[in-house]
Chain A
Amino acid sequence: MVRKGFVLLLGTVLACALYSLLGNLNPRLVVLINAFAVLVFFSALVYGEIEGAVMGTVAGLLQDAFSHQVFGLGGLSLTLAGFLLAWAAQKLNLNNFIKKGILIFFFSLVQLIIWVIFYSLIFRKSWLYSRFEFYLQPIFTAIITTSLITLFPKLKKNL
Chain B
Amino acid sequence: MSLFRLVRNKFWVAGFLIFLNLILISLQMPSGSKQENLLERILFTLASPVQKLVAATYHFLNDEWEQFKELRTAQKENQELKKKIFFLQQEEQLLKNKLSLALKQKELEETLKLLPGLIIPARIIGFDTSNYYRSAIIDKGREDGVNQNLPVCDKFGHLLGRTAEPITGSQARVILITSEDSGVAVITTSDKMVGILSGNGQGECLIKYVMASSPLGVEGDEVQTSGFDKIFPPGLKVGRIVSISAEKGVFKKIVVKPYFDLRELDVVAVLKTAELMR
Complex interface bits, A63-95 against B, C-beta within 8 A gives 1, otherwise 0: 111111111111110011001000100000000
Chain A residues numbered 2-60 whose CB sits less than 8 Å from any CB in chain B: 13, 16-17, 19-21, 23-28, 30-31, 34, 36, 48-50, 53-54, 56-57, 60
Q: Considering residues B10, B164, B180, which has the most beta carbons from chain A within 10 angstroms of its beta carbon?
A: B10
Structural contact, B40 and A64, CB atoms closer than 8 A: yes
Structural contact, A71 and B22, CB atoms closer than 8 A: no
A151 in contact (CB, < 8 A): no
Kindly list chain A residues whose C-beta atoms are within 8 Å of the C-beta of B221: none
Which of A24, A27, A129, A134 lies in contact with B55, CB distance below 8 A?
A24
CA distance A149 to B10 in the complex (A): 22
Query: Which residue of A has the minimal Cβ distance to B54?
Result: A20
Whether A19 touches B128, Cβ cut-off 8 Å, given contacts A61-B39, A68-B175, A70-B28, is no
A122 in contact (CB, < 8 A): yes
Structural contact, B51 and A68, CB atoms closer than 8 A: no
Query: Which residue of A has the minimal Cβ distance to B28?
Result: A70
Whether A68 touches B179, Cβ cut-off 8 Å, given contacts A26-B263, A30-B129, A61-B43, is yes
Give the Cβ gap from B65 to chain A, nearest Cβ, in Å: 13
CA distance A76 to B72 in the complex (A): 51
B108 in contact (CB, < 8 A): no
Structural contact, A50 and B132, CB atoms closer than 8 A: no
Structural contact, A31 and B131, CB atoms closer than 8 A: yes
Complex interface bits, B1-40 against A, C-beta within 8 A gives 1, otherwise 0: 0000000001001100110111111011100101001011
B237 in contact (CB, < 8 A): no
Structural contact, A20 and B134, CB atoms closer than 8 A: no
Structural contact, A134 and B17, CB atoms closer than 8 A: no
Query: Which residue of B has the minimal Cβ distance to A118?
Result: B25
Structural contact, B32 and A123, CB atoms closer than 8 A: yes
Whether A20 touches B25, Cβ cut-off 8 Å, given contacts A68-B173, A123-B32, is no
Which of B10, B23, B131 lies in contact with A131, CB distance below 8 A?
B131
Structural contact, A23 and B34, CB atoms closer than 8 A: no
Which of A24, A30, A74 lies in contact with B54, CB distance below 8 A?
A24
- How many residues in A have their beta carbons less than 8 Å from beta carbons of B? 52
- How many residues in B have their beta carbons less than 8 Å from beta carbons of A? 54
Structural contact, B125 and A23, CB atoms closer than 8 A: yes
Structural contact, A49 and B17, CB atoms closer than 8 A: no
B201 in contact (CB, < 8 A): yes
Kindly list chain A residues whose C-beta atoms are within 8 Å of the C-beta of B24: 61, 71-72, 75
A130 in contact (CB, < 8 A): yes
Structural contact, B51 and A79, CB atoms closer than 8 A: no
Whether A17 touches B34, Cβ cut-off 8 Å, given contacts A30-B127, A53-B14, A66-B128, is no
B133 in contact (CB, < 8 A): yes
Kindly list chain A residues whose C-beta atoms are within 8 Å of the C-beta of B47: 16, 62, 65-66
Which of A31, A50, A80 lies in contact with B129, CB distance below 8 A?
A31
Binding site for A on B (CB under 8 A): 10, 13-14, 17-18, 20-25, 27-29, 32, 34, 37, 39-40, 43-44, 47, 50-51, 53-55, 58-59, 124-135, 137, 164, 166, 173, 175, 179-181, 201-202, 262-263, 265
Q: Which 8 A-B pairs have the closest CB atoms?
A: A72-B24, A76-B21, A27-B132, A20-B54, A68-B135, A65-B43, A72-B25, A122-B32
Binding site for B on A (CB under 8 A): 13, 16-17, 19-21, 23-28, 30-31, 34, 36, 48-50, 53-54, 56-57, 60-76, 79-80, 83, 87, 118, 122-123, 125, 129-131, 134
Can you show 15 pairs from A to B with CB atoms below 8 A apart? A24-B58, A36-B129, A54-B13, A57-B17, A57-B20, A61-B24, A62-B43, A63-B129, A65-B43, A66-B47, A66-B128, A73-B25, A74-B130, A75-B17, A131-B201
